[in-house]
A and B are shown apart, each in its own frame.
Chain A
Amino acid sequence: MADLFSNLALGFGVAFTPINLLLCLIGALVGTLVGVLPGIGTIATVAMLLPITFGLPPVGALIMLAGIYYGAQYGGSTTSILVNIPGEATSVVTTLDGFQMAKQGRAGPALAIAAIGSFFAGCVATVLIAVLGAPLTKLALAFGPAEYFSLMVLGLIFAVVLAKGSVLKAIAMIVFGLLLSMVGSDIETGASRMAFNIPELADGLGFATVAMGVFGFAEIIRNLDAGAEMDRDLVQQKITGLMPTKKDLIDSAPAILRGTVLGSILGILPGGGAVIASFAAYTFEKKIAKDPSRFGRGAIEGVAAPESANNAAAQTSFIPLLTLGIPPNAVMALMVGAMTIHGIVPGPQVMQKQPELVWGMIASMWIGNLMLIIINLPLVGIWVRLLRVPYRLMFPSIVIFCAIGIYSINNAPVDVILAGAFGLLGYWLIKHDFEPAPLLLGMVLGPLMEENLRRALLISRGDWTVFLTRPLSAGLMATAAFLLVLALLPSLRKKRDEVFVESES
Chain B
Amino acid sequence: MSDAPSHGPVKSIMPSWVRGPQDFVGGIALMAIALFALWASSDLQGMHGFSFGAGTAPRMFAVLLLLLGAGVALMGILVEGAHLAQYHWRGPLFVTLAILSFAFTIRPLGLVISAMASFLISAMGTPETKWKETIIVGICLTIGCSLLFPYALGLPLQLFPRFLVQ
Contact = CB atoms under 8 A, between A and B. Distances in A.
A434 B71 CA distance: 14
B25 interface: yes
The 7 closest A-B pairs by CB, nearest first: A462-B50, A224-B91, A420-B99, A432-B26, A191-B54, A186-B54, A416-B103
Name the prevailing secondary structure of the A interface residues: helix
A256 B62 CA distance: 45
Contacts of A404: 111, 115, 145, 149, 157
B95 A179 contact: no
Nearest to A461: B50
Given A182-B61, A461-B50, A169 B90 contact: no
Name the prevailing secondary structure of the B interface residues: helix
Contacts of B40: 194, 196
Nearest to A191: B54
A395 interface: yes
B3 A425 contact: yes
Contact of A193 (B44, B87, B120, B153): B44
Interface in A173-221: 175-176, 178-179, 182, 186, 188-189, 191, 193-194, 196, 217, 220-221
A194 B2 contact: no
Interface stretch (A9-17, A112-120, A451-459, A494-502): A451-459
Interface in B144-160: 145, 149, 153-157
20 contacts: A51-B155, A168-B68, A168-B72, A169-B23, A172-B71, A179-B61, A182-B37, A191-B55, A223-B91, A224-B92, A228-B128, A393-B133, A399-B118, A399-B122, A400-B122, A408-B155, A427-B92, A428-B4, A432-B23, A457-B50
A229 interface: yes
Contacts of A453: 52, 57
A420 B91 CA distance: 13
B166 interface: no
Interface residues of A, number: 71
Interface string A255-290: 000000000000000000000000000000000000
B110 interface: no
B164 interface: no
A407 B61 contact: no
Nearest to B157: A408
Contact of B87 (A52, A54, A55, A431): A431
Interface in A37-70: 51-52, 54-55
A166 interface: yes
Contacts of B29: 428, 432
A408 B115 CA distance: 13
Interface in B40-86: 40-41, 44-45, 49-55, 57-58, 61-62, 64-65, 68-69, 71-72, 75, 82, 84-85
Interface of B: 1-4, 22-23, 25-27, 29-30, 33-34, 37, 40-41, 44-45, 49-55, 57-58, 61-62, 64-65, 68-69, 71-72, 75, 82, 84-85, 87-88, 90-92, 95-96, 98-100, 102-104, 106-107, 111, 115, 118-120, 122-123, 125-126, 128-130, 133-134, 137-138, 141, 145, 149, 153-157
A225 interface: yes
B122 A395 contact: yes
Contacts of B50: 457-458, 461-463
A2 B23 CA distance: 57
B137 A393 contact: yes
A83 interface: no
Given A54-B155, A178-B61, A399 B85 contact: no
Interface in A386-436: 390, 392-393, 395-397, 399-401, 403-404, 407-408, 411, 413-414, 416-417, 419-425, 427-428, 431-434
Contacts of A432: 22-23, 25-26, 29, 85
B149 A176 contact: no
Given A403-B118, A407-B102, A413 B107 contact: yes
Contacts of A227: 126, 128
Nearest to A411: B156
Contact of B26 (A169, A171, A175, A193): A169
B74 to A, nearest CB: 9
Contacts of A217: 95, 99
Contacts of A186: 44, 54
B26 A423 contact: no
